[in-house]
Structure 1
Amino acid sequence: MQQANSLVEYGSRRVIITITAILCALLEIVDSTIVNVALNDMRGNLGATMTEVGWVITAYAIGNVIVVPMTSWLSQQFGRSNYFAASIILFTVCSFLCGNANGILELVIFRFLQGVGGGALLVTSQTIITESYPVEKRGMAQAIYGLGVIIGPTLGPPLGGYITDNFSWPFIFYINIPIGIIATLLTLQFVRSPKYGEKSAAKDVDWAGIGLLALAVGSLQFVLERGQDEDWFESLSITVCAVLAVFGFFFFIWRELTFRNPIVELRVLKNGNLRVGTILSFILGFGLYGSTFIVPLYTQSTLGWTATQSGMLMIPAALTTAFMMPIIGQLLQRGVPQQYLVALGMLLFFAYSFWGYKIITPDTSKDAFFWMLIVRGIGMGMLFIPITTLSLSTLKGQQIGQGAAFTGMMRQLGGSFGVATITTFLARQNMTHRNDLVSKLDINNPLVQQRVAGMQHSFMNKGISPERALESGYKSLDYMVTKQAAVLSYMDAFLYLGVMFLICIPFVLMVKGNKGNKINPAEAMH
């Protein structure tokens, strides 16, 4: 009992540790979305193609996802505070190197290494916060941590847009440097490491497990990030990586269950709450990153907004989530069952998606999005903390770190699956809707001829010759069809995303809560 409780902090120490952990979580998450709006500038500056510059996002995600499942083991090997500080230093140094990169290859390599440093920040900061609070206040601890995780992806695009518009893209990376230095100093001074057992000798290190994990997760992430650009299984590289991912996971699971000193302790998944929590974390990642991706994409590509305008649109929803977090933490502390809050959060997420489906047009106004995104903000607040506390509530000691690694990895993978699925879905639906609309435009139809003639006259009034005006009329008609097809595709994406969350609600309500529905200190700490 004493051992498990020895990491609980009080007073100003706890405040400082919490701030340090949130700073690090924010650093990592903001960085995963901040570059999205600067890709065009990078491409022009470094003389790269759009496919090459896409690797700036892919490399970071691969580095991130590979290291997340290993964080618990690495903390044990080197001591948590040392490993955490080393990860912040790696992240900060690579941020400087990314800003100074002279070519696309350099930038991609440094982004990968930055992702390796960043993966540890997210999961370890969650473990540090969880263990710094007494068990009965864990709901509040997760609320505080959740602020960083939910607000991060939303802050990235407007911050990136502002920096790119007013300075230049390297400053996107340079802003990490002062925060990284402060976080490193605070970590070395205040964060304590739990007393683990013996370190693994070099011969006991699960090198094969590390290799298989990197191969499996790296290949899967590559398939998800690049699949749509390379036309999925029409591409040899995507097919090879998909096969590597399947076999990599198969042999990795076999290795971890048979090796005496595994790099990832899969047996912790025997805990029923953690199993449910990892699945829910995947769905949460799918919804969180998917919806953070789809709204700016629609406003920029269809409505013609700037990156900064699209980013600013998301801020009220993020603030709503921030406002909700402490309230949800309090409700959990008072014994409201986690599964009820998750179910309500999913229902609100369905309401947000259905609302999106109803309001999207080729010229939706900015005001139309406001309340819809506020509903999303409330729903996200109700999903994040209850899912995390449900996952970690009956774990003890070292298992908390292992559990946090699983939920963290599943949230990241859920996000990658979400973005990949939505991108592919939009492209396929766009083709379907376009073909459908074109098939209805019979050139011999008097109404169509009337419309084209009207546009031809409009162009002729601007001094354009009749032949050119007719050509411009047909081009305008084609543009309208393209735009309408895009809008219908976004409507479908919103609807299906909402239905996915709606279908999950009955399954969430079937989950058994903890005894008395409160987090039971004895159960979590014996």
Structure 2
Amino acid sequence: MQQQASLVEYGSRRVIITITAIICALLEIVDTTIVNVALNDMRGNLGATMTEVGWVITAYAIGNVIVVPMTSWLSQQFGRRNYFAASIMLFTLCSFLCGNATGIWELVAFRFLQGIGGGALLVTSQTIITESYPPEKRGMAQAIYGLGVIIGPTLGPPLGGYIVDSFSWPYIFYINIPIGIIAVLLTLQFVRSPKYAEKSLAKDIDWIGIGLLALAVGSLQYVLEKGHDDDWFSSANIVVLAVLAVFGFFFFIWRELTFRNPIVELRVLKNGNLRVGTILSFIMGFGLYGSTFIIPLYTQATLGWTAQQSGMLMIPSALTTAFMMPLIGMALQKGVKQQYLVALGMLLFFIYSFWGYKIISPDTGQENFFWMLIVRGMGMGMLFIPVTTLALSTLKGQQIGQGAAFTGMMRQLGGSFGVAVITTFLATKNEVHRSSLVSQLNVNDLDVQHRVQMMQHAFISKGMTPDVALKAAYKSLDYVVAKQASVLSYMDAFLGLGVMFLLCIPFVLIVKSSKEKKKLDLSEAMH
């Protein structure tokens, strides 16, 4: 414990370490969403198809998810400060290479390497912040870290939209370079490593475990990201990779439970609170990334907004979350149970989703979203810190770092599942609603005939011949039907997200608290 106490920092040194760690967490998370608004520009500039350019997002996510479970072990091998600094260097170098890429597959390769560098930044920055604070202030430390994790996905689209509109797409990567260089210098100067036990010898390194983990998680991530584009199991690639993911996970679990020095310690999942926290992290990732994905998609595709307008819409929600974080940290320090805060957060997320279900239409105004998104910001603020503290509250020592890696990986996978499920759900519902609306449009119906005639007259008045005007009227009617079907499918998606969170509330409330009251102590995380 003395050695742990020595990692607590005070005064300006603690402030510098906290800022460095938050910057690194933000760099990593903003980069997961900032490219979304630049895909069209990349496609045109690099001469790629939409499917090819989608790999820019997929490759980063695969690199990210593969490395997160290994961060605890890698920190032990190389020393936390060295590993953290090397990860920032890799991330920064790959940002430069991404901006300079001349072909789509070159860009995809550098994004994969950037994801490997970025994966370490999340979990390690969480541990560095927490260890810099004395135990009684660690709830607040979690709140400070949570700001980056929750606000990051929201900041990406408006920042990306501004950079693409004002400069060009490579600058969304170049912006990381000066920040990364400063973060490396601050890390080497101020961050300290705990003393670790001896490093593993080469023969003790779980190379097979590393290979199986990369195979399983990489295959699963590909299936989730590309399944909808490739029409799921009608594609041979998806079938092969789904089978590889299943067998990869099976043999990975068997290997980790039998090898003397596993790369991921699965036995830590015997802890009931961690199991519940891991599931809740998955659901939270599903809701966080799913809702961050669905709103810009709806506002751009259906309402015709620009990328920057869509991104700016999310800022009040992010600011509300930022305001909530320290309040939640204080509530936890005063002894409010995590379960109650998580349940309330889920209820608020249900209210936000139901509100979305009620207000969206083919012409919803910007002002209609404001209070709905404020509620989302409050709900997310109440979820992140309590879910993390609940998951790690009954773990001790080395287990804390392993638990943090599990919750981090599940949050990322939950986001990937969220985007994949919502994309498929929207496409399926869109077809259902479209065929339902078309079946009700009987050409012999007087109202339909009257509507077509009115549109035809409107087109004739603009100088069209009657036959061309009639075609334009039918085309216009088809567009109205398509837009209405799209709105109905977005309504279903909002309602589905809300119901999922509502159903989780009873499950959260029956989780048992640790018998004696313990403060969250992540001090030995990542050992």
TM-score bracket for the superposition, by shorter chain length = over 0.9
Paired with 2:518 and 2:378, the residues of 1 have a C-alpha distance of 22
Which residue of the partner structure matches residue 227 of structure 1? Answer: 227
**TM-superposition CA deviations, 1:221-272 (whole Å, max 9, x none):** 0000001001000111111110000000000000000000001111111222
Q: Retained in 1: the 8 A contact 2:437–2:481?
A: yes
Paired with 2:388 and 2:130, the residues of 1 have a C-alpha distance of 10
Which residue of the partner structure matches residue 400 of structure 2? Answer: 400
Q: Retained in 2: the 8 A contact 1:280–1:387?
A: yes
**TM-superposition CA deviations, 1:395-424 (whole Å, max 9, x none):** 233222211111100000000000000000
What is the identity, as a one-letter code, of the residue corresponding to 1:199? K
**TM-superposition CA deviations, 1:461-484 (whole Å, max 9, x none):** 111100000000000100000000
- Alignment of structure 1 residues 147-166 onto 2, 5 Å: 147-166=147-166
Which residue of the partner structure matches residue 119 of structure 2? Answer: 119
Asked if 1:360 corresponds to 2:360, the answer is yes
Which residue of the partner structure matches residue 477 of structure 2? Answer: 477
Which residue of the partner structure matches residue 30 of structure 1? Answer: 30
**TM-superposition CA deviations, 1:93-135 (whole Å, max 9, x none):** 0000000000001100000000000000011111111222222
Paired with 2:228 and 2:436, the residues of 1 have a C-alpha distance of 22
What is the identity, as a one-letter code, of the residue corresponding to 2:41? D
Q: Retained in 2: the 8 A contact 1:337–1:518?
A: no
Q: Retained in 2: the 8 A contact 1:514–1:520?
A: no
Q: Retained in 1: the 8 A contact 2:400–2:524?
A: no
Paired with 2:265 and 2:136, the residues of 1 have a C-alpha distance of 26
Which secondary structure does the structure 1 equivalent of 2:493 belong to? helix
**TM-superposition CA deviations, 1:299-328 (whole Å, max 9, x none):** 000000000000000001000000000000
Name the TM-score, length of structure 1 as normaliser.
0.98
Which residue of the partner structure matches residue 431 of structure 1? Answer: 431
Which residue of the partner structure matches residue 208 of structure 1? Answer: 208
Paired with 1:49 and 1:224, the residues of 2 have a C-alpha distance of 19
Structure 2 unaligned regions, length at least 5: none
Q: Retained in 2: the 8 A contact 1:338–1:517?
A: no
- Alignment of structure 1 residues 269-308 onto 2, 5 Å: 269-308=269-308
Paired with 1:296 and 1:25, the residues of 2 have a C-alpha distance of 23
Q: Retained in 1: the 8 A contact 2:213–2:252?
A: yes
Paired with 1:22 and 1:391, the residues of 2 have a C-alpha distance of 21
Which residue of the partner structure matches residue 259 of structure 1? Answer: 259
Which residue of the partner structure matches residue 442 of structure 1? Answer: 442
Task: Label 1:438 to 1:517 Cα distance change in 2 as closer, same or farther (>3 A).
Answer: farther
**TM-superposition CA deviations, 1:270-316 (whole Å, max 9, x none):** 22221111111001000000000000000000000000000000001
Name the TM-score, length of structure 2 as normaliser.
0.98
Q: Retained in 2: the 8 A contact 1:209–1:263?
A: yes
Paired with 1:185 and 1:522, the residues of 2 have a C-alpha distance of 25
Q: Structure 1 stretches (4+) deviating beyond 4 angstroms?
A: 520-525
Q: Retained in 1: the 8 A contact 2:139–2:520?
A: no
Count of aligned residue pairs for this structure pair: 525
Q: Retained in 2: the 8 A contact 1:138–1:389?
A: no
What is the identity, as a one-letter code, of the residue corresponding to 1:328? I
Which secondary structure does the structure 2 equivalent of 1:192 belong to? coil
Which residue of the partner structure matches residue 171 of structure 1? Answer: 171
Which secondary structure does the structure 2 equivalent of 1:102 belong to? coil
Residue 522 of structure 1, CA deviation: 12
Residue 524 of structure 1, CA deviation: 9.2
Paired with 2:234 and 2:327, the residues of 1 have a C-alpha distance of 49
Comparing 5-14 with 435-444, greater Cα deviation is found at 5-14
Q: Retained in 2: the 8 A contact 1:99–1:174?
A: yes
Residue 518 of structure 1, CA deviation: 5.1
Paired with 2:38 and 2:198, the residues of 1 have a C-alpha distance of 46
Which residue of the partner structure matches residue 462 of structure 1? Answer: 462
Which residue of the partner structure matches residue 70 of structure 1? Answer: 70
Which residue of the partner structure matches residue 487 of structure 1? Answer: 487
Which secondary structure does the structure 1 equivalent of 2:303 belong to? coil
Q: Retained in 2: the 8 A contact 1:142–1:329?
A: yes
Which secondary structure does the structure 1 equivalent of 2:442 belong to? coil
Q: Percent same amino acid among aligned pairs?
A: 83
Residue 451 of structure 1, CA deviation: 0.7
**TM-superposition CA deviations, 1:435-471 (whole Å, max 9, x none):** 0000000111111111101100111111110000000
Paired with 2:233 and 2:7, the residues of 1 have a C-alpha distance of 49
Comparing 516-525 with 196-205, greater Cα deviation is found at 516-525
Residue 139 of structure 1, CA deviation: 1.3
Paired with 2:243 and 2:62, the residues of 1 have a C-alpha distance of 17
Q: Retained in 1: the 8 A contact 2:131–2:522?
A: no
Which residue of the partner structure matches residue 48 of structure 1? Answer: 48
Comparing 392-401 with 304-313, greater Cα deviation is found at 392-401
Q: Retained in 1: the 8 A contact 2:94–2:110?
A: yes
Q: Retained in 2: the 8 A contact 1:394–1:524?
A: no
Paired with 2:191 and 2:390, the residues of 1 have a C-alpha distance of 25
